[in-house]
Structure 1
Amino acid sequence: MIESIPGTSDMDRCNANPHTQYALSYRYMRGAVVLNPYVYCIAGLGSYVR
């Protein structure tokens, strides 16, 4: 992982980092309420991604 961006689920934010190969959005929810949205900008997963 090269960057995590708290408080958003907008994966386009990873476009600003030229090393990003994959973007992942994560939301921790309690019922219907989103508590902690995060976007992870990831590089170098290689053969682990299928």
Structure 2
Amino acid sequence: MDFSQALLYLLDLFKQTLRENLFLSDAMIDQILTRFLEKLPSFIKLRLCFQAA
């Protein structure tokens, strides 16, 4: 498993945890994860193939 796969797996687990324990809607979870990903350093975004903000 490479870095990007591991990080995406962790983000999926985080998403499941938010849904199960905080009872957040999918829209709210997506908004939280989008904001988190936007705040990642550029070198991580590049590893994940996201556009650098």
Flag the structure with higher helix content. Answer: 2
Point out the structure with the larger strand share: 1
- Higher RCO (C-alpha under 8 Å, 6+ residues apart): 1
